[in-house]
Amino acid sequence: MTLNEAIIKRIYEICTEKNITLNKLSTICGITQSTLNNIVSKKSLKPTVSTIKKICDGMEIDLCDFFDTDYFKTLDQEIK
């Protein structure tokens, strides 16, 4: 799994946990729906930490909670 794939899975997981749509998430987080759609559709291959922080703030979780999943512990090495 790549970093981008892990971020996408985590965003969907949090939306499921909080029972909200991506559209609602974008509203709560103060980011445009197009930005969020670009992340989850892999058009944005490198979402910034700032964007992830906005998602975390909107979902009322810490950055460490966002990244504290097995998705991020078993990432493929991306430096080639």
CA gap 74, 61 in Å, rounded: 22
The CATH code that applies to domain 3-72 is 1.10.260.40
pLDDT tens figures, 3-45: 889 999 999 999 999 999 999 999 999 999 999 999 999 887 7
Q: Is the pTM of this model over 0.75?
A: yes
Instruction: Please return the burial class of 36, using the count of CB atoms within 10 Å of its CB with bins 0-12, 13-18 and 19+.
Output: buried
Q: Which residues contact 7 (CB under 8 A, 6 or more apart)?
A: 39, 47, 52
Domain boundaries, the chain: 3-72
